[in-house]
Structure 1
Amino acid sequence: MNSQQKYLNPSRVLINIEQFVERTIASRYAWREFHDELIDLLFDLHAIFDFELQYSAYVEAMLELIWQNNIACKIDIDQLKALSFKQVQQGFDRFKRSRDKEINDFCRLESRNRERLRDYLDDLLGHYSKLLFVRVDLAYLKGKQHKVNVWQFQQDVRELLGFIQDGDRCFRDLEGYAWALEQGEEKGFHCHLLLIYNGSTRQKDYYLADQTIQRWQEITEGNGYGFNCNTPEHKSQFRKMDSLGIGMIHRDNDREVQNAIQACSYLVNPEKSNQQLRVKLLRMHTFGTGSYKRNYRRYRGIPSLNA
């Protein structure tokens, strides 16, 4: 194993591969460092590859190159260097249809999830006179992302959802929640989290968001961080535009209700295909909500990321 491999950022490697494949397909000619970049990325992918995981279409394109140029479980560098740019490009181009289908499937799923979230919010807003909406974005420090693969990400989110379901500490008086998992170029693996509290028993949305971030930092053993959407400064930007949809939301205020639904819809956005996971566990879910039951003030769902 290369001495630097243990410092590879799994999320960054997969995004670099995706961008490389896209650039190769779109280019008319090879650039000067094409073969060096190709070989480096193939070795990086070989180092992080896991047979138990599912990869995106363009990562699969690179995996095919590994299998085709592999001798005794080792990548044949000379064989790779002998490949022309056109040969590599044609190999990648065979995956373009799968990539297009992948994006279309993502957009359809996000649209269905958005409708599901809006129905969920309609139920809650129609049942409580006021609700406290709290939004946080949870990710990993850039210098710690090399420690986080999709297995660790799932484990951390599962632990967080377990605390949410138990109504532990800052999650007391919680009436609903929703989460969405993404993977970005800068943030790596991250989670958008919406928490909805009974507005008759909970205020101080900034404090609750801050406590949630602290819980995430505990779960990730200091490797995680969070963005608090409920700071006075952040909310004031939207209040000036009359579009504030977090904080205290009153059922009899149509503007507040519509703003809340609009703000929460960001969790599932068909236009954010560049934020989809490039690697998943089998049957892994990337979005979920709590379960709403009209007959009960409290609920308990199953905090699972898998079917």
Structure 2
Amino acid sequence: MTITAPVPLVFSNDSLLRLQIYQDQTDNIFQSNESCPDYIGSLHRLDCAELMGSVSEFVAGTLKTDGIPILRVLTKQGEHFQMQPMAKCFYRQMPRLLKVTQHLSPHYAYDEYISAFIACAEKLGIYDAPVDWDSTCNGHHILSGLPETIHCVDIFNEFVAEIRTYCHALKIKEKRRLRLREIDRRYQDLCEYVDCLFQSWNRLIVVRVDFFYANQFSEIVSIEQAQYDLKRLLDNRRTNTLFKGMRGYIWKLEYALKKGIHFHLIFFLDGAVRQPTSHVYFAKEIGEYWVKVITEGKGDYWNVNAEAKNYERLNRRGIGEIHQADASLRQHLEAFVIGYLCKADQFVRFKFKKRLRVIARGEFPKREHRKPGPKSKRTLKIVSVRSPGLLKLCGGKQAP
């Protein structure tokens, strides 16, 4: 059975997933030094995530509009300001948007719109400008008759104009569109791969486990060593009975400043060969093999399948035993497991060297194993970031 959906991934409606990913990365993307203000440290993860999202939405709104966002109008009654809807939404937020972007770690690459915001703010010197934004507005209304108000309005208008010029000159919208198209292509490829696995084997055991390195080794393990360790584990699956019945796999390489190099893995075991109810045990055995044999005690792991019952209660389970005909669980697998791995890079990613492979899958099953079925496009289902337990299912264990 092939799961069908009407349209492919839609990136314009990803605000909830974006919040989830920024929450996951909060501990890593903000610089931990004395220059970072207490304001950042006092923010809740969700607050930081919402602000990062607002930065991207501000730039998107700027590019969708034209003209001067805030006009000074002189009437018989005096001076007042006319604000475009975009300005009404974001003028009051400017001090928080500037603070949250000023102290982002340079080790990460961000959404093109966030990068444009930072570049333009730095060019205009807005980060260092002595501006009291809060004193110039009352709710969504700009206060007239204050010299500081005119100064802030001029800065806001100039900032919007600079963002438009910058994004047009560097073709930011086109670059973003191409990058998101590549992420969508990768997502569709992995979903097709999983479809083929289910066409070949009626019942699969989906095992989610994260591999990383213990704290004392995380800073000294190179990417090359980590890649070698993972390759060794995957190569050994052909002869090691631990991997008996393995029909496929997907892995994703990531890096976090606190957690170091780590891998998110999805293993697909044949439910006709292995006992489906033992999926938690299988994840544990694979994790222990990573720790004791592959890394010789330097590694650590996170058994995501151990949380399967919690995800079942939340109607989010996409791991464990999944039958070919179970459309609901297969959709959960695509949205909450595969979708997260593919789409995390849409918002924030570590600056790896170019041409480094960061995500891969096993080979498609041989044609004689497959049953015919049509290809289909997927729509990635977005879930609330406030759902407890979702983070562990999607992104794995928090940094120790």
TM-score of the superposition, structure 2-length normalised? 0.48
Tell me by how many angstroms 1:202 deviates: 0.8
The answer for the alignment partner of 2:44 in structure 1 is none
Letter in 2 for 1:278: K
Structure 1 residue 150 corresponds to structure 2 residue 223: yes
In 1, Cα distance between equivalents of 2:368 and 2:327? 25
Structure 1 residues 94-105: aligned runs within 5 Å: none
The answer for the alignment partner of 2:261 in structure 1 is 189
Structure 1 residue 235 corresponds to structure 2 residue 308: yes
Partner secondary structure for residue 200 of structure 1? coil
In 2, Cα distance between equivalents of 1:223 and 1:104? 40
| Residue 258 to residue 20, structure 1, CA distance change in 2 (3 Å) | closer
In 1, Cα distance between equivalents of 2:212 and 2:172? 26
Letter in 2 for 1:227: W
The answer for the alignment partner of 2:366 in structure 1 is 293
Partner secondary structure for residue 192 of structure 1? strand
The answer for the alignment partner of 1:216 in structure 2 is 290
Partner secondary structure for residue 221 of structure 1? coil
The answer for the alignment partner of 1:87 in structure 2 is none
Structure 1 residues 66-145: aligned runs within 5 Å: 106-145=179-218
Letter in 2 for 1:209: A
Instruction: Give per-residue Cα distances to partners, 1:144-192, cap 9 Å, x unaligned.
Output: 112112222221222122123x152321110111111112233221111
| Residue 195 to residue 115, structure 1, CA distance change in 2 (3 Å) | same
- Which is worse superposed, 134-143 or 287-296? 287-296
Tell me by how many angstroms 1:97 deviates: 5.5
Structure 1 residue 268 corresponds to structure 2 residue 357: no
How many residue pairs match? The answer is 219
Partner secondary structure for residue 284 of structure 1? coil
Q: 1:201 aligns with which of 270, 273, 295?
A: 273
Letter in 2 for 1:115: Q
Instruction: Give per-residue Cα distances to partners, 1:285-306, cap 9 Å, x unaligned.
Output: 2111111213259xxxxxxxxx
| Residue 97 to residue 128, structure 1, CA distance change in 2 (3 Å) | same
Letter in 2 for 1:261: E
In 1, Cα distance between equivalents of 2:260 and 2:251? 16
Partner secondary structure for residue 295 of structure 1? helix
**Runs of at least 5 residues in structure 1 that lack an aligned partner in the other structure:** 1-11, 32-92, 298-307
Letter in 1 for 2:196: D
| Residue 192 to residue 275, structure 1, CA distance change in 2 (3 Å) | farther
Instruction: Give per-residue Cα distances to partners, 1:79-121, cap 9 Å, x unaligned.
Output: xxxxxxxxxxxxxx9xx96999887665333221111110011
| Residue 296 to residue 251, structure 1, CA distance change in 2 (3 Å) | closer
- Structure possessing the higher radius of gyration over alpha carbons: 2
CA RMSD for the aligned pairs? 3.4
Partner secondary structure for residue 367 of structure 2? coil
Instruction: Give per-residue Cα distances to partners, 1:257-292, cap 9 Å, x unaligned.
Output: 222222332453334346534223x63321111112
Instruction: Give per-residue Cα distances to partners, 1:115-158, cap 9 Å, x unaligned.
Output: 11100111111222211110011112233112112222221222
> What's the % identity of the aligned pairs?
26
In 2, Cα distance between equivalents of 1:19 and 1:200? 43
Asked whether the equivalents of residues 125 and 257 of structure 1 are also in contact (C-alpha less than 8 Å), the reply is no
TM-score of the superposition, structure 1-length normalised? 0.61
Partner secondary structure for residue 272 of structure 1? helix
| Residue 289 to residue 29, structure 1, CA distance change in 2 (3 Å) | closer
| Residue 269 to residue 296, structure 1, CA distance change in 2 (3 Å) | closer
In 1, Cα distance between equivalents of 2:180 and 2:186? 10
In 2, Cα distance between equivalents of 1:129 and 1:161? 23
Structure 1 residue 169 corresponds to structure 2 residue 241: yes
| Residue 174 to residue 20, structure 1, CA distance change in 2 (3 Å) | closer
In 1, Cα distance between equivalents of 2:266 and 2:318? 12
Partner secondary structure for residue 118 of structure 1? helix
Q: 1:254 aligns with which of 297, 312, 327?
A: 327
Asked whether the equivalents of residues 249 and 260 of structure 1 are also in contact (C-alpha less than 8 Å), the reply is no
Asked whether the equivalents of residues 131 and 196 of structure 1 are also in contact (C-alpha less than 8 Å), the reply is yes
Asked whether the equivalents of residues 176 and 196 of structure 1 are also in contact (C-alpha less than 8 Å), the reply is yes
**Runs of at least 5 residues in structure 2 that lack an aligned partner in the other structure:** 1-30, 33-103, 130-165, 371-400
The answer for the alignment partner of 1:18 in structure 2 is 107
